[in-house]
Amino acid sequence: INKSIYKNNTNEIILECLMPVKAVFEDLGIIDYKKAWDYQEELHQEIANIKSGKTNKEKINRIIFCEHPHVYTIGRSGKENNLLINDSILDSINATYYRINRGGDITYHGPGQIVGYPIFDLEQFKFGAKNYIFKLEESIIKVLKEYNIYAKRFKGATGVWIDSDNKGRLRKICAIGIRISKYITMHGFALNVNTDLKYFNYINPCGYTDKGVTSIKNEIGRRLSIEEVKKKILRHIINEFEIQL
């Protein structure tokens, strides 16, 4: 049960118990990036219409998992020169490129990487963007701990990192880039599981030139079942956000 603490006008502390927030889980499998982006926009608009009274449907929060064919995306604040290759090389490596409406700089999505797109109405969860990102990061940190990978946050940057206290060995294992409009989230996280890391050589990941990238496979020396990791991520997101599926 979600709990919120507040004080009444006599300064007495009141503990208010709320019902768990409901959500629906969808696994889209391997899906074209633009198709998944359009679907997110559709779901985001649907919740916005319900909140504004334009439609009378029940608000449905979504947890969407998928994988994408090779694609590079760059956020609103990203710099084009962080993509280090031209269109002809993009074609030769079977990759596409999109400038999109999330925060952050450039990142890569591809097979072997689990991408999560929570479409949440944060007003239902009773917290803001900072706590939302913290809980996403915490969910991934707990998943990685199950594989004896001890990851942390890195001050001044979103996402999940390994050896965050050792600048020379610092490497990112999960990128996070979000958009929040009308308190409704979209975009999300990308966890490298069996990802082909050579695709990160064609960009300055998240705009950094001095930080590495890794994957679960790279850290533990073996491939993992994507379905196994998805189940662990979903379980930790449900627990961290106190969601009822």
Q: What are the residues whose beta carbons fall under 8 Å from the beta carbon of 42, sequence distance 6 or more?
A: none
First to last CA, the chain: 13
Beta strands in 68-150 (DSSP E): 71-74, 96-99, 106-109, 113-119
Residue whose entry in the numeric block shows the structure tokens 């029940």:
58
Whether 17 is catalytic is: no
Which of 49, 175, 28 has the alpha carbon at shortest distance from 121?
49
Neighbours of 189 (CB within 10 A): 24
Contact present, 153 and 220 (Cβ < 8 Å): no
- Exactly one of 17, 66, 174, 206 is catalytic; name it: 206
Which active-site residues does the annotation give?
206
